[in-house]
Amino acid sequence: MSTLAHLQDDDVWMAEVAAGDGAHPSVRGYEVIADLLWPHWQRWLAG
């Protein structure tokens, strides 16, 4: 799954990354990626 385009367009993700080391977000940024990936995990787990 490609996440790059979505994350580049997400203001929270970009702000969190910029506030840190430039590569890793803090908690709010990880919530963004979790919200993006969770539906895909649910479908995979449901088989």
Residue 12: pLDDT band by 50, 70, 90 thresholds?
very high
Parse the chain into domains and list their residue ranges: 4-46
Neighbour-count burial of 42, counting CB atoms closer than 10 A to its CB (0-12 exposed, 13-18 middle, 19+ buried): exposed
Whether residue 2 has pLDDT greater than 90: no
What's the mean pLDDT in 12-37? 96
> In the predicted model, what is the mean pLDDT of residues 2-20?
95
* Single-letter amino acid, residue 2: S
- 1 pLDDT above the threshold of 90: no
DSSP 20: T
